[in-house]
Amino acid sequence: MLFDTVCVVGVGLIGGSFGLAMRERKLARQVIGAVRREETINAAFQRGAVDNATTDLAEAARGADLVLVASPVGQMKAICEQLGPVVRAGAIVTDAGSTKDDVVAGCSKCFGQKAFFVGGHPMAGSERTGVEAARSNLFENAIWVLTPTADTPEPVVTKLVAMIEGLGATPLLLNAAIHDSLLAVTSHLPHLTAAALVHLFSDAHSEYEVAQQLIAGGWRDSTRVAAGSSEMWRDICLSNTAALTKSLDDLLEQLHQLRHMLQEKDADKLYDWFESASTVRRKQGYFPRSTQ
């Protein structure tokens, strides 16, 4: 048992799965949920994600030796400002957000020398939302990024690493800015692209209803994530604007090159372009397991 009391702020898919896993693997004596809506309390109990839950953030966090903030990234600084006065001295506060640079900069200063904030990002998820979709094995074999700073005490990192390994995930220590730059390519840009493809389909379907009968497996696979939380992805975009803008520019350059090949009907270049992508994608072990 690594922790006595764990507080989970935001008992949805990620927070609920975290609570389930911590309880089933006996990594904490008790898990307390902090939720926004009364109805989530019953849902969290029924799912087995918490031992107790409340809409009172201060009540949930007071006395906890670990707090996981599993809210949309746009809410994290405000939540940490509320947590600062009530967390116990020496507590560890971490998060599950998909961007890190802004989050770490904004949240760390909320705790001063009283508690320790360490940015975190479990690379696991689903297009489904809510605690009803939570499952205790969500993090198994997933990468879990931690972004400690030069001021983070080594024992704090060691304890979080032990927790991550106890959940069946693989810890990865990374600089926050590098994390955001890479995630723009590997996670955020694919979601934007998926949403754009859905918008294109919607336009085609409004003109030709038969389009719905012509949806291919590639479209389904490519657009699965577009069904995710709009609030979460809005906040991710606003939190990682610079890196995402660069990634969008890089994607547009790739599409511009592809458009030129099509206009020129350049069979050799088209073949090489597809073959290069196919070779990289087929590499065994090249892509770690991740559902986000």
* Domain extent at residue 37: 3-174
Rg (Cα) of the chain, in Å, rounded? 21
CA distance 7 to 21: 13
pLDDT digits (tens, 9 = 90+) for 14-45: 999 999 999 999 999 999 999 988 989 999 99
Indicate the residue among 124, 141, 174 that finishes a domain.
174
C-alpha torsion sign, points 253, 259, 264, 266: positive
Listing from the earlier edge strand, what are the strands of the sheet with 66-69?
A: 52-54, 28-34, 3-9, 66-69, 92-95, 116-122, 143-147, 170-173
Separation of CA 200 from chain center? 26
Structure confidence at residue 284 (pLDDT): 59
Is there a single domain that holds both residue 32 and residue 105? yes
Structure confidence at residue 282 (pLDDT): 87
pLDDT digits (tens, 9 = 90+) for 238-269: 999 999 999 999 999 999 999 999 999 999 99
CATH number at residue 168: 3.40.50.720
Is there a single domain that holds both residue 22 and residue 152? yes
Is there a single domain that holds both residue 91 and residue 213? no
Structure confidence at residue 64 (pLDDT): 97
* pLDDT at position 149 over 80: yes
Is there a single domain that holds both residue 199 and residue 255? yes
Structure confidence at residue 250 (pLDDT): 97
| Average pLDDT, rounded, for the chain | 93
Is there a single domain that holds both residue 68 and residue 135? yes
Considering the domain boundaries, does residue 292 fall inside one?
A: no
CA distance 219 to 205: 14
pLDDT digits (tens, 9 = 90+) for 62-110: 999 999 999 999 999 999 999 999 999 999 999 999 999 999 999 999 9
Indicate the residue among 153, 174, 195 that finishes a domain.
174
Structure confidence at residue 21 (pLDDT): 97
Considering the domain boundaries, does residue 212 fall inside one?
A: yes
Is there a single domain that holds both residue 91 and residue 201? no
Task: Tell me which H or E stretch contains 220.
Answer: helix 217-223
How does residue 291 score in pLDDT terms, banded at 50, 70 and 90?
very low
Is there a single domain that holds both residue 62 and residue 198? no
Structure confidence at residue 283 (pLDDT): 83
* pLDDT at position 287 over 70: no
Structure confidence at residue 130 (pLDDT): 87
CA distance 136 to 154: 28
pLDDT digits (tens, 9 = 90+) for 112-147: 999 999 999 999 977 677 888 889 999 999 999 999
CA distance 223 to 215: 11
Is there a single domain that holds both residue 58 and residue 138? yes
CA distance 74 to 95: 12
* pLDDT at position 154 over 50: yes
Structure confidence at residue 1 (pLDDT): 87
| Whole-number Cα distances in Å, 15 to 34, 120, 129, 141, 263 | 10, 13, 11, 18, 49
Number of domains in the chain: 2
Q: Give the DSSP letter of residue 88.
A: P
pLDDT digits (tens, 9 = 90+) for 179-228: 999 999 999 999 999 999 999 999 999 888 998 998 999 999 999 989 98
Is there a single domain that holds both residue 242 and residue 230? yes
Considering the domain boundaries, does residue 168 fall inside one?
A: yes
Q: What is the largest CA-CA distance in the chain?
A: 67
Percent with pLDDT over 90 in the chain: 84
Considering the domain boundaries, does residue 290 fall inside one?
A: no
How does residue 290 score in pLDDT terms, banded at 50, 70 and 90?
very low
- CA 164-87-157 angle, 5° bins: 30
Task: Tell me which H or E stretch contains 256.
Answer: helix 241-264
CATH number at residue 230: 1.10.3660.10
Whether this prediction's pTM lies above 0.85 is answered by yes
List beta partners, residue 5: 30
Indicate the residue among 117, 149, 174 that finishes a domain.
174
Is there a single domain that holds both residue 165 and residue 118? yes
Considering the domain boundaries, does residue 210 fall inside one?
A: yes
Considering the domain boundaries, does residue 266 fall inside one?
A: yes
Is there a single domain that holds both residue 74 and residue 213? no
Structure confidence at residue 126 (pLDDT): 73
Is there a single domain that holds both residue 102 and residue 226? no
Considering the domain boundaries, does residue 77 fall inside one?
A: yes
